[in-house]
Amino acid sequence: MTKILKVRVFYISATLLMSGCSSLGPRTVERVHYEYNTAIAKTADEQLLLNIVRLKYRDNPYFLEPTQIAENRKFTTRFGISGTKFGLASNAGKHELGILGYNEIFQNPTITYLPLQGEKFTHRMVSPIPLAVVLGLMQAGWSTKRVFNLCLECINHLDNASSASGPTPTRKPNYESFTEAIDILDTLYSQKHLVIGLSSGNSKELILKFTNSDSQSQQLKSLLGLDKGRSEFHFNSNFLDASDTNLSVRTRSMMEVLFYLSHAVCVPEKDIEAGLVTETEDETGEIFDWSENLSGEWIAINYSEGKDRPVGAFVSVFYRGKWFYITDNNLNAKSTFMFLTYLFNLQSGDSMAAVPMLTLSAN
């Protein structure tokens, strides 16, 4: 009877342990996929925010991209018998057999990062944003106003704070006429009074076509210096070909977009007094408030000098002894941050860029 009991106990214990081990693989895939997805998204957001803050302080930005993640996990099942003599222990005159079984999981992840530099850095960060990408952003649902204000440096003779495409300028940039024109364009675009798309010919040029000749359409043409008798205008990036029949556009690069947004980063007064950041003055010598104008319309990056991570932050980084963050309830700033990520990936020019490969061990 005792021997039969021994066999049954061992068989049941081993079966339970082995069945548990057989399900560890699928459960691990589910858990690891979520964990790495969350971690990669979080670190990508933090890296982007960190580089915007760095540019505010005129520190060099630096980008690292995960290219491969190898998740090596080893599952080991161990069995043992407890007892004082040959696995038998006396308890009130009865012999009992104790069987021990447990699983061990050894985790050894390897993550490979590559710095963004050389030709890839030039193409992705320094090259002007193609007009086709600008159109793609609009067709993807981003507002015309957001796309044009962030991506365009000027259109015809209207300047969109071109001096803000680098380190913080000491003088307020010109932008008022551009802003007025884009506000009208955004209104007409939302009302379907104008369309922006590719021409039907073989050249596939980007065109703007007015479908209405109301007062706002005429006002926009006047601001852009366009022929009021025409309804269709072609975009180009050649300023030597500027005329009242074309829309000559100069786009920002990804780096210039980040510089532009960095001016809206809030910093402590002591950093300004120490000369760590530049203050911008208007024509009267008053301090120009970036948080209320230009890039401040699209993003708000606050700071906290406490040691603890800010509560209610969507993304935060600790830099120069303080926390910089975007609040979770600032949907406009979060939209701009999402826009930057979208633009950053579009600028890669490689469908496989910035897509790390996750390899799971089958052991």
Q: What pLDDT was estimated at residue 161?
A: 96
The whole-number average pLDDT for the span 196-211 is 83
Domain contains 208? yes
Confidence of residue 310 (pLDDT cuts 50, 70, 90): very high
Name the DSSP class of 124: I
Domain containing residue 169: 128-346
Confidence of residue 65 (pLDDT cuts 50, 70, 90): confident
State the burial class of residue 45 (Cβ atoms within 10 Å of its Cβ: 0-12, 13-18, 19+): buried
pLDDT digits (tens, 9 = 90+) for 141-195: 899 999 999 999 999 999 999 999 999 999 999 999 999 999 999 999 999 999 9
Structure-model confidence comparison of residues 310 and 348, the more confident one:
310
pLDDT at 17 over 50: no
Q: What pLDDT was estimated at residue 39?
A: 82
Neighbouring residues of 53: CB distance < 8 A, sequence distance ≥ 6? 262, 265, 301, 317, 319, 324
Same domain, yes or no, for 210 and 72?
Answer: no
Same domain, yes or no, for 235 and 265?
Answer: yes
Same domain, yes or no, for 141 and 255?
Answer: yes
Nearest C-alpha neighbor of 32 from the set 363, 362, 360: 360
Confidence of residue 102 (pLDDT cuts 50, 70, 90): low
Q: What pLDDT was estimated at residue 40?
A: 83
Same domain, yes or no, for 100 and 9?
Answer: yes
Structure-model confidence comparison of residues 30 and 174, the more confident one:
174
Q: What pLDDT was estimated at residue 199?
A: 79
Lowest mean pLDDT among 14-18, 67-71, 99-103, 219-223: 14-18
Structure-model confidence comparison of residues 1 and 33, the more confident one:
33
Same domain, yes or no, for 100 and 134?
Answer: no
pLDDT digits (tens, 9 = 90+) for 261-299: 999 999 999 999 999 999 999 999 999 999 989 999 999
Distance of CA 197 to the CA centre of its chain: 26
d(CA 161, CA 260) in angstroms, rounded, equals 9
pLDDT digits (tens, 9 = 90+) for 239-257: 777 789 999 999 999 999 9
Q: What pLDDT was estimated at residue 108?
A: 65
Domain contains 46? yes
The whole-number average pLDDT for the span 99-106 is 61
Same domain, yes or no, for 142 and 187?
Answer: yes
pLDDT at 12 over 50: no
d(CA 330, CA 344) in angstroms, rounded, equals 21
Q: Helix, strand, or coil here: 250?
A: strand
Cα-based angle 289, 292, 298 (whole degrees, multiple of 5): 125
Domain contains 242? yes
pLDDT at 80 over 50: yes
**Cα–Cα distances in Å, from 164 out to 44, 130, 181?**
25, 20, 19
Same domain, yes or no, for 153 and 68?
Answer: no
Domain contains 363? no
Q: What pLDDT was estimated at residue 128?
A: 93
Neighbouring residues of 197: CB distance < 8 A, sequence distance ≥ 6? 135, 206, 207, 209
Structure-model confidence comparison of residues 336 and 14, the more confident one:
336
User: Mean pLDDT of all residues in the chain?
Assistant: 82
Domain contains 362? no
d(CA 85, CA 87) in angstroms, rounded, equals 5
What is the H or E stretch that residue 138 is in? Answer: helix 131-139
Q: List % helix, strand, coil for the chain (3-state, nearest 5).
A: 40, 25, 30
Phi/psi for 317 (5° steps) reads: -140, 145
Nearest C-alpha neighbor of 47 from the set 341, 330, 268: 341
Same domain, yes or no, for 170 and 198?
Answer: yes
Domain boundary among 95, 117, 139: 117
Phi/psi for 236 (5° steps) reads: -150, 165
Q: Contact 347/127 with Cβ under 8 angstroms?
A: yes
Q: What pLDDT was estimated at residue 346?
A: 84
Same domain, yes or no, for 262 and 297?
Answer: yes
pLDDT at 359 over 70: no
Domain contains 218? yes
Nearest C-alpha neighbor of 303 from the set 290, 281, 321: 321
**Cα–Cα distances in Å, from 182 out to 7, 169, 176, 185, 253?**
82, 23, 10, 5, 20
| Mode of pairing for the β-strands spanning 194-198 and 98-115 | unpaired
